[in-house]
Amino acid sequence: MKILFLYSHGGEIVTGGEKYEDMLYRELGKMPGIEVERVWLNNDRGKLRKYLSTVRNLSLVGKLKKYDLVLFNGAHCFNFLLLIWLLRLCGVKTGVIHHHFLFHGMGSVRRIYYKWMECGFLKGSANIIVPSPYIDELCRGMFPRRKIYYWQIPFEPSPSALPPSPVAGNLLYIGTIEPRKGLVHLIDAMAILKERGEECRLTVVGKTVRHDYKELLDEKIAKHGLDVRFTGFVSSQELDRIVSEADIFTFPSRLEGYGMVICESMVNGLPVICFNNSAMPYTVKDGVNGVLVLDGDSGAFASAISKVTSDRRLRDRLSEGALATVGSFMTPARFRDTVKREMAVILSVPEVR
């Protein structure tokens, strides 16, 4: 059996979704009787190439017929919308790995257009693979006639007990630097706390996707004299050190399909403060393993930070709750068994034309 992961662009494993698909690719490669390939088409090199790709990619149909299954990433719907429907008509089995709906973060006409594209793309495949409970619930409601496979992201429990109590006010954010991630709200919250005479320090780990957004953050940080350190990418050893010194994982994202970093922080016993939106309440339980804040409210975010940093018993209780939550996560062994069992079903069922 031959399986192809086909991407319009990319190649660098950065985001949580990319890490998930890389893990899935490697797991499938270990299964007997399955050959796995991965191809990036670089459709994003130049505007003309990008906008013509949706039609140009139709020429791939002949090559793709040799595969028993072609897997796409749902975020690449623009480049592959026509191709996935043509493959369906030709009887080529396809699947879409869907992490989150892009149109949820858009407005007006653009929202309508992207919703049409994303939903049309997902309807083009009989098989939809989702890694999170939030997207699983949405997809089952929106696409009742599609086969939906919930392959939850696996996490290894931490081998150690509760980490040593860190210095109060050491905040940590891990993720890309772009508007959707809401870092401006975290910076504003820190400014509010400083005005109240409450000091805190923030370490930001991750790649800058939007440099204009980073410049906006830098201006705010300089204006209020905040203690913020941007590390960019760091080694796993350095990240472990940074996490061990963190007091709270602060995640002000405005839209997530899952938020892998939330789960990863809980594995290390960090309580989480985040906005109550999209996927966040599926993992973060207010007062149990973290604090859920009214969406987009920087003042409420500041108050949540103040509450946890000033009450060490609360912080310890939330930390214990975070570690307890890890017990409900998918383990690598269960993930492997689930994928093996359900992939056999996908490969054995004829594609519906």
Whether the CA torsion 322, 314, 204, 133 is positive or negative: it is: positive
Displacement of CA 94 from its chain's centroid (Å): 22
One digit per residue, pLDDT tens: the chain, 353 residues?
999 999 999 888 878 889 999 999 999 999 999 999 999 998 887 777 788 899 999 999 999 999 999 999 999 999 999 999 999 999 999 999 999 998 998 888 999 999 999 999 999 998 999 999 999 999 999 999 899 999 999 987 765 545 566 888 999 999 999 999 999 999 999 999 999 999 999 999 999 999 999 999 999 999 999 999 999 989 988 998 899 899 999 999 999 999 889 999 999 999 999 999 999 999 999 999 999 999 999 999 999 999 999 999 999 999 999 999 998 899 999 999 999 999 999 998 665 55
Residue 162: per-residue pLDDT: 53
All domains of the chain, ordered by start, with CATH? 2-154+331-348 (3.40.50.2000), 170-328 (3.40.50.2000)
Q: For tokens 């103040």, name the residue.
A: 306
Neighbouring residues of 135: CB distance < 8 A, sequence distance ≥ 6: 98, 99, 100, 101, 257, 258, 279
Structure tokens at 216: 């906006």
Q: Phi and psi (nearest 5°) for 66?
A: -80, -10
Q: How far apart are CA 333 and CA 155, in angstroms?
A: 10
Residue 165: per-residue pLDDT: 65
Residue 278 zone, left/alpha/beta (φ > 0; ψ -120 to 50; rest): left
> Could you give the 3-state DSSP secondary structure of residue 291?
strand
Beta pairing partners, 147: 127
Residue 16: per-residue pLDDT: 83
Structure tokens at 305: 């930070």
pTM of the model: 0.88
- For residue 114, CA distances in Å to 64, 78, 81, 128, 311 come to 26, 9, 11, 18, 44
Alpha helices in 172-325 (DSSP H): 183-195, 211-224, 236-245, 260-267, 280-283, 298-310, 312-325
Structure tokens at 166: 């860190």
Are 194 and 162 in contact by the 8 Å Cβ rule? The answer is: no
